[in-house]
Amino acid sequence: MGLPSGTFNQSYGQDMAIFRTRTHWVMLLAFLIFLFACPLFFSDRILTILTIIGITIISVHGLNILTGYCGQISLGHAGFMAVGAYTSAVLTAKLDWSFWAALPCAALAAGMVGLLFGLPSLRIKGFYLIMATIAAHFIIMWVILQLYSVTGGGNGLAVPRPEIGGFVFKSKGSYFYLVLIIACLGTFFAKNLVRTRAGRAFIAIRDNDLAAEVMGVNLLSYKLLAFFIGCVYAGVAGSLLVHYFAFATVDQFPFMNSVWYLGMLIVGGMGSTAGAIFGAVSLKLLDELVTIVGPILSAAVAPQAAASLGLIMRGLVIIIFLIFEPRGLAHRWQMVKAYYRLWPFSH
Amino acid sequence: MTKIKWLFIASMIIMLLAMPLFAACPGEETTPPPEYTLYVGGGMSLTGAYAEDSAAVLAAIEDYVQYVNETKMMAPWRSETFPDNVTLEVLWRDDELNVEKALTIYEELKAKGMLVYRTSGSSTALALMDRLNEDRMGSPSALVSGPYLLSPPKTCLTIYPIYTDDLAAIADWFLENWTEDRAPRVAYLTADYPPGKSILIPEMDAYLESIGYELVGTQLVPLVPTSPPTTQLLWLKENKVDLALCWMINPGSQPTIKEAVRLGMGTNLDYKITFGLAAPSHLPVFVPAMGAELSEGVVVAGSYPPLDDLATPGVAFCNDLQEMYHPNDMVTHVMYEAGLVEAMVQVEALRLAMLEMPVEDLTPVDVLDFGFFKITDLDTGGLSSTPLSYSSGNVEGVDEVRVDQALNGKIVKQGTWPLRHLYAQ
- Mind giving me the DSSP string for B336-355? HHHHHHHHHHHHHHHHHHHH
Surface of B (116-135) touching A: CB under 8 A: 123-124, 126-131
pLDDT at B275: 97
- The fold of B163-301+404-418 is Rossmann fold (3.40.50)
Give A44's contacts in chain B (Cβ within 8 Å): 107, 110-111
Cite the DSSP H helix spans in B84-155.
99-111, 122-134
Give me the interface pTM, i.e. the ipTM.
0.79
Contact criterion met (CB below 8 Å) for B77 and B378: no
The string of pLDDT tens digits covering residues B353-403 is: 999 999 999 999 999 999 999 999 999 999 998 999 998 878 888 999 999
Give B96's contacts in chain A (Cβ within 8 Å): 310-311
Query: Beta-carbon neighbour count of residue B228 at 10 Å?
Result: 16
Q: A161: phi > 0 → left, psi -120 to 50 → alpha, else beta; which? A: beta
Cite the DSSP H helix spans in B278-384.
283-295, 313-325, 335-356, 364-366
Report the DSSP beta bridge partners of residue B43: B93
Give A154's contacts in chain B (Cβ within 8 Å): 145-146, 193-198
DSSP notation for B18-66:
HHHHHHHS--TTTSPPPPEEEEEEEEE--SSTTHHHHHHHHHHHHHHHH
B353/B363 Cα distance (integer angstroms): 9
Q: Which H or E run includes A265?
A: helix A255-268
pLDDT at B396: 85
pLDDT at B148: 58
Residue B24 has pLDDT above 60, yes or no: no
User: Pick from B99, B108, B197: which is nearest to A251 by CB?
Assistant: B99
- The more confidently predicted of residues B200 and B323 is B323
- Supply the mean pLDDT for chain B: 88
C-alpha to C-alpha distances, A59 to A119, A205, A234, A304, nearest whole angstrom: 21, 22, 5, 33
CB contact under 8 A, B198 and A250: no
CB half-sphere exposure, A284, CA atoms < 13 A: 25
Contact criterion met (CB below 8 Å) for B179 and B197: no
The string of pLDDT tens digits covering residues B40-69 is: 999 988 887 778 888 899 999 999 999 999
The string of pLDDT tens digits covering residues A267-305 is: 999 989 999 999 999 999 998 888 888 888 887 877 677
CB contact under 8 A, B127 and A245: yes
pLDDT at B153: 72
Query: Beta-carbon neighbour count of residue B328 at 10 Å?
Result: 5
Nearest C-alpha neighbor of B260 from the set B278, B248, B272, B249: B272
CATH code of A43-342, in short, is 1.10.3470
Q: Where are the domains of chain B?
A: 36-161+307-394, 163-301+404-418
Query: At residue B422, what are phi and psi to the nearest 5 degrees?
Result: -90, 80
Give B111's contacts in chain A (Cβ within 8 Å): 43-45
A271–chain B nearest CA distance, Å? 26
CB contact under 8 A, B148 and A155: yes
| A245 in contact with B, Cβ within 8 Å | yes
Which residue of A170, A245, A261, A301 is the best one to mutate when testing the B interface, meaning the one whose CB has the most B CBs within 10 A? A245
A&B contacts, CB < 8 Å = 121
Task: Tell me which chain B residue has its CA closest to the CA of residue A241.
Answer: B100
3-class state of residue A276 by DSSP:
helix
A305/A310 Cα distance (integer angstroms): 11
Q: Where are the domains of chain A?
A: 43-342
Give A287's contacts in chain B (Cβ within 8 Å): 101
CB contact under 8 A, A249 and B198: no
| B41 in contact with A, Cβ within 8 Å | no
- The fold of B36-161+307-394 is Rossmann fold (3.40.50)
pLDDT at A55: 97
CB contact under 8 A, B123 and A251: yes
3-class state of residue B214 by DSSP:
strand
CB contact under 8 A, A294 and B93: yes
Task: Tell me which chain A residue has its CA closest to the CA of residue B103.
Answer: A48
CB contact under 8 A, A309 and B94: yes
The string of pLDDT tens digits covering residues A52-71 is: 999 999 999 999 999 999 99
| B349 in contact with A, Cβ within 8 Å | no
- The more confidently predicted of residues B214 and B225 is B214
pTM higher than the cut 0.90: no
3-class state of residue B157 by DSSP:
strand
